[in-house]
Chains A and B, each alone.
Chain A
């Protein structure tokens, strides 16, 4: 009965891992057989400015996105974790972006960030400021993408936190109230330590997925699905996954793309190790 998984593992995981490692040391255009070239792909990578730029952009995106979404989702979850009227409505409102595809988000976000007639610029002009180019502005493109990503994903993370909060016993809050703790103190000294396990998990998972972000940037910075057009302006939103895709599927440099994949894999591995080390320090375990 486990045979589906066995096939899955042998063909699509074990084999693909080995193949991808082999490709990363080869020149491979998919027309001719892969040709072993040793470390050449990795050497080229070290001297490739676009690779470094996309690595930097990936880190920048992740550093902006992960903490912002985590903190805001936690605040929302705390606000929703009580018997409120209209709870279902609020939950649904926060989940609609979650169930939307990035193509839907592209046009929905355009209603706000369109440089000519979007809501954001309209408000800016009405308040007397300069209109912005948003996704066409090298300095603003990543912050805008991050804002949209937070908007899209926050409902999902909020629900994960809500599940964590439901495990916090109510009497701890009552005890804190007896000692005179206010809302902020209770949040800091009761809520935060008790859901640190959930928070840790959320941080690890969202860092890993954000490092591999592709669909949003492909859709929102590209042009009708043309992969070579995405990542602009001037590579300002080029991230590692997008670069990998361009090199592999647009320019058929499968060996080079595999090398990018393995560098990304190593980075993720190191980040996860660091996070696991840090877990012992600040995750609170009940004795």
Chain B
């Protein structure tokens, strides 16, 4: 009698999540098949879902005939610089908040809290004007520089991590003659690898996929990152839409690979962002 409701729950759960997983994956599968078609197959009516044969050369041609590699390189630069900046600046600021004493520490931390509440919408235009005066329009700088200035989400994440480290480590380090900076770099950073990984992956995902900032700041084609680069192709590739599908899916591959290897940190980051 006691086992029955549990078993029924499992069966219902399987049905629900299988159905939902199908909805999640069907569009990707259909799109992947679309990317392997000729234009004639792509627009065929009645719909030809699975092309025969697969035109893998669509992917080769996207690589060869468009600026895809250039867009990919730009995305790579922006993402790597952003990740480095976020790791260094967030952990440094978080360490100060978690472990050091300095004037106005509490009011400053309330300010960090407050900045999380300000909707980005009111800052977009003045930020654009600041970058304009810096002569940074149509460069990649505005896309990564803010990550070097400690974004609040990362500061929170790292502060929580540092707070959970017992005081004894710090005292032992002090006895051994470590300065606060050395303690931070040699002892605290290595102990917080999981949180650093979470921050890396989240910054990676945000920057790799970002559209708003590149759409505002970039105007010349050779500076475009992947999302807006692929988006901008559609005008010139009219009548060859299957290539666009291939290009879009190709831009997903790097982050997909990263995701498969770091899935558990993704999940950790998502759940901690709900608690911020």
Chain B positions within 8 Å of A100 at CB level? 209, 252, 255
Q: Can you report 13 A-B residue pairs in the complex whose CB atoms are below 8 A from each other?
A: A2-B92, A2-B97, A76-B16, A80-B13, A91-B267, A104-B248, A106-B248, A163-B271, A183-B5, A183-B12, A214-B212, A227-B215, A261-B125
Q: Is the CB of A94 within 8 A of B21?
A: yes
A190–B194 CA distance with the chains assembled, in angstroms: 32
Q: Is the CB of B235 within 8 A of A215?
A: no
Chain B positions within 8 Å of A112 at CB level? 26-27, 30
Q: Is the CB of A111 within 8 A of B34?
A: yes
Chain B 7-46 residues near chain A, CB threshold 8 A = 8-10, 12-14, 16-17, 20-21, 23-28, 30-31, 34, 42-46
Which listed residue (A20, A76, A107) contacts B125, Cβ 8 A?
A20
- Does B175 belong to the interface (CB within 8 Å)? no
Q: Is the CB of A12 within 8 A of B274?
A: no
A251–B124 CA distance with the chains assembled, in angstroms: 16
Q: Is the CB of A1 within 8 A of B13?
A: no
Q: Is the CB of B249 within 8 A of A262?
A: no
Residue of A nearest to B233 (CB): A224
- Does A232 belong to the interface (CB within 8 Å)? no
* Additional pairs, 15, CB under 8 Å, beyond known A13-B123, A107-B244, A272-B117: A15-B126, A16-B127, A84-B10, A84-B14, A88-B263, A89-B21, A95-B266, A101-B209, A101-B226, A102-B227, A108-B27, A116-B43, A119-B27, A223-B234, A224-B235
- Does A90 belong to the interface (CB within 8 Å)? yes
- A-side interface mostly: helix
Chain A positions within 8 Å of B274 at CB level? 160, 163-164, 198, 201-202, 205
The 10 A-B residue pairs with the shortest CB-CB distance in the complex, in nearest-first order: A163-B271, A160-B274, A8-B149, A101-B209, A16-B126, A79-B13, A19-B126, A1-B96, A111-B30, A93-B21
Q: Is the CB of B93 within 8 A of A1?
A: yes
- Does B69 belong to the interface (CB within 8 Å)? no
Q: How far is the CB of A225 from chain B (nearest CB, A)?
A: 5
User: Are A101 and B227 CB-contacts (below 8 A) given A17-B123, A119-B30?
Assistant: yes
Q: How far is the CB of A226 from chain B (nearest CB, A)?
A: 8
User: Are A159 and B125 CB-contacts (below 8 A) given A93-B24, A116-B43, A119-B26?
Assistant: no
Chain B positions within 8 Å of A212 at CB level? 119-121
- B-side interface mostly: helix
Q: Is the CB of A104 within 8 A of B249?
A: yes
Binary A-proximity of B241-258 (CB < 8 A = 1, otherwise 0): 000110011011001100
- Does B115 belong to the interface (CB within 8 Å)? yes
Q: Is the CB of B130 within 8 A of A177?
A: no
Q: Which of A111, A164, A202, A215 has the most CB of B within 10 A?
A: A111
A12–B259 CA distance with the chains assembled, in angstroms: 31
- Does A75 belong to the interface (CB within 8 Å)? yes
Chain A 1-50 residues near chain B, CB threshold 8 A = 1-2, 4-9, 11-13, 15-17, 19-21, 23, 30
Q: Is the CB of B244 within 8 A of A16?
A: no
- Does A264 belong to the interface (CB within 8 Å)? yes
A283–B228 CA distance with the chains assembled, in angstroms: 42
Q: How far is the CB of A198 from chain B (nearest CB, A)?
A: 6
- Does A109 belong to the interface (CB within 8 Å)? yes
- Does A282 belong to the interface (CB within 8 Å)? no
Chain A positions within 8 Å of B210 at CB level? 101
Chain B 190-234 residues near chain A, CB threshold 8 A = 205, 208-212, 215-216, 226-228, 230-234
Q: Is the CB of A5 within 8 A of B93?
A: yes
Chain B residues with CB under 8 Å of chain A are 2, 5, 8-10, 12-14, 16-17, 20-21, 23-28, 30-31, 34, 42-47, 89, 92-93, 95-97, 100, 102, 108, 111-112, 115, 117-130, 132, 146, 148-151, 155, 180-181, 184, 205, 208-212, 215-216, 226-228, 230-235, 244-245, 248-249, 251-252, 255-256, 259-260, 263, 266-267, 270-275
Q: What number of A residues sit within 8 Å (CB to CB) of B?
A: 93
Which listed residue (B23, B123, B233, B263) contacts A151, Cβ 8 A?
B23
Chain A positions within 8 Å of B126 at CB level? 15-17, 19-20, 23
Q: Is the CB of A177 within 8 A of B5?
A: yes
Q: Is the CB of A159 within 8 A of B267?
A: yes
Q: Is the CB of B24 within 8 A of A101?
A: no
Chain B positions within 8 Å of A198 at CB level? 274
A156–B272 CA distance with the chains assembled, in angstroms: 11
Q: Is the CB of A95 within 8 A of B149?
A: no
Residue of A nearest to B33 (CB): A111
Chain A positions within 8 Å of B205 at CB level? 99
Binary B-proximity of A199-217 (CB < 8 A = 1, otherwise 0): 0011001001001101100
Chain A positions within 8 Å of B149 at CB level? 4-5, 7-8, 12
A16–B132 CA distance with the chains assembled, in angstroms: 13
Q: Which of A75, A92, A202, A245 has the most CB of B within 10 A?
A: A92
A67–B134 CA distance with the chains assembled, in angstroms: 43
Chain A positions within 8 Å of B21 at CB level? 89-90, 93-94
Q: Is the CB of B270 within 8 A of A111?
A: no
Chain B positions within 8 Å of A227 at CB level? 215
